[in-house]
Amino acid sequence: MNRFLNAIAITTTLVLVQACSSLPKAEEKVMSVSTHQHEERSSNESHHGNHSTSSTVHGEKKALTQAKLKVSSVITPNKNISLLIDLQDLNGKAIAKFDTFQEKLMHLIIVSDDLQFFSHLHPTYKDNGQFQVEASFPKAGGYTFFSDYKPTGQSEQISVLKTQVPGITIAAPEIDIKRSKTFNDTQVNLALSEPTVKAGQEVTLMFKLQDATNNQPLTDLQPYLGEKGHLVILRQSSSLTAADYIHAHALNNTPTGQVHFMTSFPQAGKYKLWGQFNRNGKIITADFWINVV
Ligand SMILES: [Cu+2]
């Protein structure tokens, strides 16, 4: 099917998160979409790699891009759907060139709004500012997309897009705060440097990965997208925004079978973490909840 429905229209917001003001344009089915500009604090390897759009880091720079999500049909749960993400400058002109970062032109995180579902995809660049990807959605309800890209010569941008899967929504299960979980043949333990995680405070998150069959630290971890691991964090919220999104980078020089991240959480709340690791070509996604006071 070549005709793409306009599922979502555009809003461009100021980067200053607390002053977000939405300016929906006249498009059909307007939902909230925002683009936030990310500022790298440092390109030094030892930096904390916290890409969170926190209001303390950013000035009043305007977002430089806008994003539009198009879906090929009404979304049916568990069916592969072709999605297009159109990226334009603020005048509506397609952005032609992007820089590769972390080995890809775009990193796309899709979550269900209850944070039960997580997907990390790498859409294909089709030219003319348009990225294409296939995705499937497990159940009815709202979904939020965090599209992370770098127009050539500009800083990293995060566009937030939303869509709805029609149907009857099922209540999310209770939050599970276990610190040790098994994902297929890998046991993952999450340890924190602080007994209580406080908003705004730096904390080291230590993922200890063991082979579930012999309880030995993993020796077959390979780089994933150029790093020891990736960590996406989202704050539980009734309406997810770029301010709820943190993408942390792994620290170097950690013990065998361990991947550490340093980050801080912008505000109190419940956060879900998805650590992603490459075990000999197989990606493990280990999810945990953290309570931040
Ligand atoms: Cu990615």
Tell me if domain 13-165 and domain 180-292 are identical in fold. yes
The Å distance, Cα 156 to ligand 1 centre, comes to 13
Please determine, for residue 10, whether its predicted confidence score (pLDDT) is greater than 80.
no
Q: What is the number of other CB atoms lying within 10 angstroms of the CB of residue 136?
A: 15
Ligand 1 centroid, distance to 26 Cα (angstroms): 32
CA atoms within 13 A on the CB side of 105: 18
Q: Dump pLDDT digits (tens) for 219-276.
A: 999 999 989 999 999 999 999 999 999 998 899 989 999 999 999 999 999 999 999 9
Mean pLDDT of the chain: 82
Side-chain-facing half-sphere of 153: CA atoms under 13 Å: 4
In sequence order, the 6+-apart residues with CB closer than 8 A to the CB of 185 are 211, 212, 213
51 Cα–ligand 1 center, Å: 14
**pTM flag (> 0.85):** no
Report CA(82)–ligand 1 centroid distance (Å). 18
Instruction: Quote the ligand 1 centre to 138 CA distance (angstroms).
Output: 20
Q: Where are the domains of the chain?
A: 13-165, 180-292
Provide the 3-class DSSP secondary structure of residue 46.
coil
Q: What is the pLDDT of residues 146-186, one digit of tens each?
A: 999 999 999 999 999 999 999 998 888 889 889 999 999 99
The set of residues, in sequence order, having a beta carbon less than 8 Å from that of 174 and lying 6+ positions away, is none
Instruction: Look at residue 250 in the predicted model and tell me its pLDDT.
Output: 93
Please state, in angstroms and rounded to a whole number, the distance separating the CA atoms of residues 250 and 241. 23
The closest of 95, 169, 160, 107 to 137, measured between CA atoms, is 169
- Ligand 1 midpoint to CA 108 (Å): 6
Using CB atoms within 10 Å of the CB of residue 1, give its burial: 0 to 12 exposed, 13 to 18 middle, 19+ buried.
Answer: exposed
The pLDDT, as a whole number, for residue 35 is 64
| pLDDT of the residue at 269 | 96
CB 276 within 8 A of CB 229: yes
- DSSP secondary structure of 250-278: BPSS--TTEEEEEEE-SSSEEEEEEEEEE
Task: Determine the distance separating the centroid of ligand 1 and the alpha carbon of 153, expressed in angstroms.
Answer: 20
CATH H-level superfamily of 13-165 = Macroglobulin (MG2) domain (2.60.40.1930)
Q: What is the 3-state secondary structure (H, E, C) of 106-163?
A: EEEEEEECCCCCEEEECCEECCCCEEEEEECCCCCEEEEEEEEECECCCCCEEEEEEE
- Cα(119) to centroid(ligand 1), Å: 10
What is the structure's pLDDT at 74? 86
Confidence of residue 42 (pLDDT cuts 50, 70, 90): very low
Q: Which fold has domain 180-292?
A: Immunoglobulin-like (2.60.40)
